Amino acid sequence: MASAQAAALIRRLTRGDHKALGEFYDLYSGLVNGLAIRILRDRAEAEDTVQEVFVQVWQQAARFDPSRGTPEAWLCTMARTRALDRLRKRSSRREEPEQSHAGSAAPRTEEAIAVRKALDGLPSDQRKALELAYYEGLTQSEIAERLREPLGTVKTRIRTAMIRLRGVLGPSS
Amino acid sequence: MNEERLLELVPLAALGALDGEERAAFEVALATNPALQRELASYQELVGRLGLATDPVQPSSAARDRLLSVTRPSASRRSWLVPALAAGLVAALSGLLLVRSEWDAARREAAAQRAAAQEAHATAQKAQAEAAALRESLASEVAFRELVSHPETRVASLAGLAAAPGARARVVWHPGRREAVLVASGLAPAPAGKAYELWIIAKAAPVPAGVFQVDAQGRVVFRLPAGLEFAGVRTFAVTVEPEGGTTAPTGAMVLAGAVS
């Protein structure tokens, strides 16, 4: 499966094998770029984020710890952190970003399908609150303000959603 | 905050959605609570996997070439050792697009520093008024004034917690020079045999950052011991401790503030 292939590539990367970087990029640049586009809604900025993430992979492959999750989760975490940093630094932040149409094709791996299904299975109010935290990097108070809901309600929704996702998706394979 | 309440905050913390006092209290507890650290790591991994729900979109082929040329081992590996130089190298080698984004980042950084300096100046003016009124701790006040005149100086606000709801404080520090001053008000004088102790919390356990007392009006301008490490600081917190200070927090927390 892709993760085993990725683990082998990461081992080569830690030895400074530059060719492995190209292979790793070919496996995952679409994933990183898709997530960056979803957060930033700007292709040029998303590609800059992809660049930063894979430069970081090249420099810090040795820091990848398989006991803490899959390479995909590691990459998504780096991509989300960097994309949200860019979002926060934007001077003119859009209040209500337009809906992205990038997300119409089906995700490819079994795990991706499971994650998508788990998110789709959440009640819409929970999902909405979770997405504001995940894709827009809003804090609990900002989400409460955006949704015009009490802070306690928002916290409960997000917590319930996360507990449910963990129950459905289980520990990483 | 008890264990159950802390564990309830973990899913929100993993998403980076905590804010205010809750975030500060969570980070303080996290520094010394391995069970909480494990639970957070588990949820952070889940947060990472949620990224898989987004459909892949292939970047342009130019982006691949750019990455491989920037990282090609013939480029000086030594300079990778210095992150600042590495950022410069990336910008230099990866075309106008990245140059522009690096330049924008530098410009935003400069703007952020100006804003921080302005905030520091505002804080300084307020603190000067307080310090003059109190006519105490002249050395601290001089250090503070000197400190806030630097553009690299950073400021964190600390809010009073349940044990001292009326308290508030600011820590002003210069990371490079490792100098810092705390200005606090609204604190009750510490009980006999006790004092307030300030903590710097980065990724590991809280680091003691000095013991202080407040005056009869509950105020203090306190110069932190020189040479403290501020790199990676996430939270400042103040607890009530024995007069001589301790190496790890033991008493009630009265003030805490996250570093933004």
Is residue A98 scored above 50 in pLDDT?
A: no
Instruction: Report which residue type is found at B74.
Output: S
Q: What is the mean pLDDT of residues B75-98?
A: 48
Q: Tell me what pLDDT residue A103 has.
A: 42
Domains of chain B, with CATH numbers?
Answer: 3-49 (no CATH), 61-112 (no CATH), 119-258 (2.60.40)
Residues on chain A touching B45 (C-beta within 8 angstroms): 68-69, 73, 172
| Cβ contact A25–B67 (<8 Å) | yes
Please state the ipTM of this predicted complex.
Answer: 0.89
B116 or B37, greater pLDDT: B37
pLDDT band of B119, cuts 50, 70, 90? confident
**What confidence score (pLDDT) does residue A23 get?**
94
Q: In this predicted model, what pLDDT tens digit does every residue of B201-211 receive, in sequence order?
A: 988 889 999 99
What fold is seen in the domain A109-173? Arc Repressor Mutant, subunit A (1.10.10)
Distance CA A125, CA A152 (A): 14
Concatenating the DSSP letter of every residue in chain B gives --HHHHHHHHHHHHTT---HHHHHHHHHHHTT-HHHHHHHHHHHHHHHHHGGGSPP-PPPHHHHHHHHHHH-TTS-SGGGGSHHHHHHHHHHHSHHHHHHHHHHHHHHHHHHHHHHHHHHHHHHHHHHHHHHHHT--HHHHHHHHHHHTSTT-EEEEEEE-TTSTT-EEEEEEETTTTEEEEEEESPPPPPTTEEEEEEEESSSS-EEEEEE---TTS-EEEEPPTT---TT--EEEEEEEETT--SS--S-EEEEEE--
pTM value is 0.60
Instruction: Residue A84: list chain B partners with CB under 8 A.
Output: 16
Per-residue pLDDT of B178-199, as tens digits, reads 888 898 999 998 998 899 999 9
**Stretch A69-85: mean pLDDT:** 93
Which CA distances in Å does A62 have to B41, B73, B77? 18, 16, 16
Best residue in A76, A119, A157 to probe B by mutation, most B CBs within 10 Å?
A: A76
Q: How many CB pairs under 8 A join A and B?
A: 177
Taking Cα atoms as reference points, which of B36, B48, B38, B46 lies closest to residue B7? Answer: B36
The pLDDT tens digits of the residues spanning A28-73 come to 999 999 999 999 999 999 999 999 999 999 988 988 888 888 899 9
Query: What pLDDT shows up at residue A36?
Result: 96
Q: pLDDT class for B237, splitting at 50, 70, 90?
A: very high
pLDDT at B97: 52
- Mutation site for B-interface testing, chosen from A140, A160, A163, A165 by largest number of B Cβ within 10 Å: A140
How does B120-130 read in b/e, with b if 16+ C-beta sit within 10 Å? beebbeebbeb
Other Cβ atoms closer than 10 A to A91 = 7
3-state secondary structure at position A101 = coil
Domain boundaries, chain A: 1-87, 109-173
| Chain-chain contact of A59 with B80 (C-beta, under 8 angstroms) | yes
- How does pLDDT run across B214-227, given as a tens digit for each residue? 988 888 888 898 88
Is the per-residue pLDDT at B125 higher than 80? Answer: no
Distance CA B256, CA B170 (A): 10
**pLDDT band, residue A171 (cuts 50/70/90):** confident
pLDDT digits (tens, 9 = 90+) for B20-50: 888 888 988 888 888 999 999 999 999 999 9
A22 band by pLDDT with thresholds 50, 70 and 90: very high
Q: Which architecture does CATH list for A1-87? A: Orthogonal Bundle (1.10)
User: pLDDT confidence of B78, banded at 50, 70, 90?
Assistant: very low
Q: Residue A161: helix, strand or coil by DSSP?
A: helix
Quote the pLDDT of residue B89. Answer: 47
CB A83 within 8 A of CB A47: no
Nearest to A25 among B16, B64, B90 (CB): B64
> Encoding tokens for residue B64?
């691949």
